[in-house]
């Protein structure tokens, strides 16, 4: 019989309030995963405070202190690698990662985006959706690949919510936040359990093992 699985070593990149980081800490940290480091591009990110409270190692990589974005990303990748990171979660990380990082962690970077991709990629997704006048909003958790795009990687999980009367950013944001906080840990847990793979006939299609979803 195989022994119990070692917790997956997760590194988190965050620029802001870090509520998605907190969701990971509250649900999976110390169980299916161990968050071994939190890095930010912003020294004032509240996410860093959350990491400190949880006793997790932190680092700040300010762009101005590096030659360029690629050099900064190489430094972040080295810091993550030193901690044995197996999966990188972008939890509100507002800088676009360059090839040196994405190649080093190929197939092991996950992002959360507040729209049903491929609709409304990039910044201000909720504002874009409101401007378009959609009736269904949602959240996507996807892999980040070195494909030159933004929010273009293979979809792991998506969840939509019907808000046919929505006209206000704050209202939509408030409804999407709990979905993010459920979906990010769910995706990370599935990866930690080895339940996430790719369809060999269409590597864009992420396959989730049925028996694991049934247990959830
Ligand atoms: C989330 O809305 C996420 O979808 C977007 O950035 C925000 C991060 O929030 N990419 P937090 O820092 O996790 O609270």
Q: Does any domain span residue 83?
A: yes
Q: Whose CA is nearest to atom 14 of ligand 1?
A: 19
pLDDT at residue number 151? 96
Answer whether 112 contacts ligand 1 (Cβ < 6 A): yes
Give the model confidence (pLDDT) of 129-163 as tens digits.
999 999 999 999 999 999 999 999 999 999 999 99
Q: Kindly report the CATH number assigned to the domain that includes residue 52.
A: 3.40.50.170
Q: How many domains does the chain have?
A: 1
Burial of 162 (0-12, 13-18, 19+ CB in 10 A): exposed
Confirm whether 1 is domain-assigned.
no
The overall average pLDDT reported for the chain is 96
Write out the residue range of the structural domain in which residue 119 sits. Answer: 8-215
Give, using CA atoms, the residue closest to atom 5 of ligand 1. 92
| Interval 22-45 mean pLDDT | 98
State which ligand 1 atom lies nearest to the alpha carbon of 23. Answer: 13
Residue 159 lies in a domain: yes
Give the pairing of strands 87-90 and 8-13. Answer: parallel
Give 210's pLDDT tier (boundaries 50, 70, 90): confident
The predicted-structure confidence for 82-138, as pLDDT tens digits, reads as follows: 999 999 999 999 999 999 999 999 999 999 999 999 999 999 999 999 999 999 999
Known catalytic residue at 66: no
Looking at the CA of residue 114, tell me the nearest atom of ligand 1: 4
Ligand 1: centre distance to CA 102 (Å): 20
Predicted structure pTM score: 0.95
Phi and psi based region of residue 160 (left: phi greater than 0; alpha: psi -120 to 50; beta: remaining): beta
The answer as to whether 134 is a domain residue is yes
Residue 2 lies in a domain: no
3-class SS at 8? strand
Tell whether the model's pLDDT for residue 3 goes beyond 90: no
- The answer to the question of residue 3 being in a domain is no
% of the chain with per-residue pLDDT over 90: 94
The encoded tokens of residue 210 equal 């049925």
Cβ atoms of residues 157 and 187 within 8 Å: yes
Residue 214 to residues 8, 105, 144, 185: CA-CA distances in angstroms? 21, 29, 26, 16
Q: How far is the CA of 94 from the centre of ligand 1 (A)?
A: 9
Tally Cβ neighbours within 10 Å of residue 149. Answer: 13
pLDDT score recorded for residue 156: 98
| 26 has a pLDDT exceeding 70 | yes
pLDDT band (50, 70, 90) for residue 1: low
Query: Is pLDDT above 60 for 31?
Result: yes
């Amino acid at each position: 019989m195989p022994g119990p699985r070692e917790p997956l070593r997760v590194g988190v990149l965050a620029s802001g309030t870090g509520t998605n980081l907190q969701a990971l800490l509250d649900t999976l940290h110390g169980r299916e995963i161990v968050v071994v480091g939190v890095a930010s591009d912003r020294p004032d990110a509240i996410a860093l405070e959350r990491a400190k409270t949880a006793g997790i190692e932190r680092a700040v990589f300010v762009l101005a202190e590096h030659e360029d974005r690629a050099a900064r990303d190489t430094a972040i990748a080295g810091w993550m690698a030193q901690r044995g990171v197996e999966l990188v979660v972008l939890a509100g990380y507002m800088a676009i990662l360059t090839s040196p990082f994405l190649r080093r962690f190929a197939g092991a970077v996950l992002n959360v985006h507040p729209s049903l991709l491929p609709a409304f990629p990039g910044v201000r997704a909720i504002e874009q959706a409101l401007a378009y006048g959609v009736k269904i909003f949602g959240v996507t958790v996807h892999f980040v690949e070195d494909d030159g795009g933004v929010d273009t990687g293979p979809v792991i999980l998506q969840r939509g919510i019907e808000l046919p009367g929505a006209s206000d950013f704050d209202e939509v944001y408030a409804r999407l936040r709990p979905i993010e906080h459920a979906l990010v840990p769910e995706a990370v847990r599935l990866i930690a359990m080895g339940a996430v793979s790719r369809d060999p006939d269409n590597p864009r299609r992420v396959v989730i093992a049925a028996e694991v979803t049934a247990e959830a």
